[in-house]
């Protein structure tokens, strides 16, 4: 599976993702994001900026970011490393770029900007149980997670 397939799978199966940025002093910040999707490019992720002043400030000073997207029941996902750019409502292409995020968000959220991430590489995230118990299938991982967290399948 190539980078764009791994990225797409992780983004489309995750309910939340986490955006890691770094401030001018090198202090990391991790912020959960609930409105995100693949962008127009094969290796592009769009993240709605709804209430993220620290992420915005950090990206303005250092555009290098990492997105962590994990399927919480399969207990695996990816870290996507890349470069972020802020697309604000003042920019002429904002309406087109924000459209898929606005559809997801509905009228409840005011998307003030879009964090557009050009992903350059991805790395896998695996729960330790995949390493400790290599014979377990993803389906078994899911069943165990459902049981552990008291989740009932529909």
Structure tokens at 127: 């729960």
148 assigned to some structural domain: no
150 assigned to some structural domain: no
Structure tokens at 20: 């890691």
136 assigned to some structural domain: no
Query: What range defines the domain where residue 55 resides?
Result: 3-126
> Which pTM does this prediction carry?
0.90
What is the CB-side half-sphere exposure of residue 24 using CA atoms within 13 A?
A: 3
135 assigned to some structural domain: no
- pLDDT digit string (tens) for 61-88? 999 999 999 998 888 999 999 999 999 9
Query: What is the domain count for the chain?
Result: 1
Give the pLDDT confidence score for residue 87 in this predicted structure. Answer: 97
145 assigned to some structural domain: no
Place of tokens 């190539």: 2
CA distance 4 to 85: 19
Residue 52 belongs to domain with CATH number: 2.30.110.10
Give the pLDDT confidence score for residue 1 in this predicted structure. Answer: 56
49 assigned to some structural domain: yes
140 assigned to some structural domain: no
């Amino acid at each position: 599976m190539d980078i764009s397939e791994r990225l797409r799978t992780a983004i489309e199966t995750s309910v939340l993702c986490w955006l890691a940025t770094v401030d001018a002093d090198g202090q990391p910040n991790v912020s959960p994001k609930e409105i995100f999707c693949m962008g127009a490019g094969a290796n592009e992720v769009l993240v709605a900026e709804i209430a993220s002043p620290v992420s915005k400030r950090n990206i303005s000073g250092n555009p290098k970011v990492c997105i962590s997207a994990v399927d919480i029941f399969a207990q695996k996902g990816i870290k996507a490393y890349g470069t972020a750019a802020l697309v604000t409502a003042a920019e002429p292409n904002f309406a087109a770029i924000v459209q898929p995020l606005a559809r997801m968000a509905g009228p409840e959220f005011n998307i003030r900007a879009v964090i557009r991430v050009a992903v350059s590489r991805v790395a896998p995230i695996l729960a330790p149980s995949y390493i400790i118990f290599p014979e377990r299938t993803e389906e078994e991982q899911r069943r165990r997670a459902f049981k552990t967290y008291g989740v009932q399948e529909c």
